[in-house]
Homo-oligomer: A and B are copies of this chain.
Amino acid sequence: MMTSLTTALSNFFFEYETPRQVLVKDKRVGVVCRLIQLVVLAYIIGWVFLYEKGYQTTDVAIGSVFTKMKGVGYTTVNDTKRVWDVADYVFPDQGDSSFVVMTNYIMTVGQTQDTCPELPGIYNCTSENDCKEGDYKRTGHGHMTGKCVMKTNTCEIHSWCPVENDLQIPDPPLLISAENYTLFIKNSITFPQFGYTRINLVEGVDNNYIRNCIYDQVKDPLCPIFKLGDIVKLSGFTFSQIAIEGGAIGILIDWICDFDWHARYCRPVYNFHGLYGADEAQTSIGYNFRHAKYYVEDKVEKRTLIKVFGIRIDVLFRGLARKFDIIPTLTAIGSGVGIFGVATVVCDLVLLYVLPKRDFYKNMKFKYTTMKEAEPVLQMNNTEKE
């Protein structure tokens, strides 16, 4: 028993089986098949390996974005000059990757918790019967008290009073000077699988360069300081228009890296695009939100409500790195060999079903185990000289 196992094992190790093959000396089928095989080989080497870099594995980056606006804006409303600096016009203030730059606003100063008439168009009334106490609408500013204010023909409501009147949006926008603000972006990304970390202040972008540069797609594509007006223009908007009702812009930082090369070639590319369809569907354009500043005056809590129209900027990043790895390499080779097998099948079909001497080739390729249904084989058998 032991011996037979040993014999089997030694047999297994000392012998090698290789497929027997027919060598068809036929110019037509030879050229056709070699061409098919060359195409497959070219595809595997040229396309999968060189062009698509199938020998590499990929890693997706995680990271963090820090932003900082600079610039001062001025408004003159009712002959009152007002200066707006970063702490005034950026929301939120801590340098998030997603923030809003105010470009226009409706300010309602000194609101208190009180009762006052609603805006026209929401709870119109001609008598107290139209104003049911406690009732309210989702789009209204508060609950009705039950009174009808004759001066405005609207119901009286409990609310922050006076109610903000946002029916008229200032045009031209109050903070048109926002166009000259600058945005500084810091983006740090990590490829956790490969263990590389990069920031967008790459080689050559040092303190000296940053102090004076402004991003330009052609001349300064690596400068991390952007003029707000440029960002808007590169996204396909017109500043004077988007500034009125606001809009949303995405700055996409693209990191396409190949770590088979030195990490210094891993550099960011900045792309700009409008986020919420400014053109196509005119559904819900603009970007606004309400911000309140609370204070106490004469023991009464008050607030200044600002309806902020602004440009929301989302700094997104996408990091895609590639690096040589043995698994995808061998998978690509293995599946390439499989495709070679497909080429062989195609050639065999040509050989066995298309060529004039197909019966002869069929006979050479195949050997039949039983004679009963194999008459054509017997006929041709003498041509075989083995």
Chain B residues, Cβ within 8 Å of A327: 47-48, 52, 54
Docked CA distance A68–B248 (Å): 14
Known A-B contacts A159-B83, A316-B62, A327-B48; A14 and B43 likewise in contact (beta carbons under 8 Å)? no
Residues in B neighbouring A92, C-beta threshold 8 A: 91-92, 94
Q: How far is the CA of A71 from the CA of B85 in the complex (A)?
A: 31
In the bound assembly, the distance between CA atoms of A180 and B143 in angstroms comes to: 13
A227 to chain B, nearest CB (A): 9
Copy count, this protein chain: 3
A158–B80 Cα distance when bound, in Å, is 12
Report the bound CA distance from A94 to B93 in whole Å: 11
Number of interface residues of A (CB under 8 A): 148
**Cα(A54)–Cα(B11), bound, Å:** 33
Q: Scan A66-77; emit 1 where CB is below 8 A from any B CB, else 0.
A: 101011101000
User: How does the 8 Å CB contact mask read for A17-35 relative to B, with 1 for contact and 0 for none?
Assistant: 1111111111101110110
Q: Judge whether A262 is part of the interface by a CB distance below 8 angstroms.
A: no
> Which residue of chain B lies nearest to A254 when distances are taken between CB atoms in the complex?
B192
Q: How far is the CB of A42 from chain B (nearest CB, A)?
A: 13
Q: Are A336 and B338 in touch, CB under 8 angstroms?
A: yes
Complex Cα distance, B254 from A360, in Å, reads 60
Contact indicator A339/B348 (Cβ below 8 Å): no
Residues of B within 8 A of A206 (CB): 281, 283
**Interface membership of A290, Cβ < 8 A:** yes
Asked whether A385 is an interface residue with its Cβ less than 8 Å from the other chain, the reply is yes
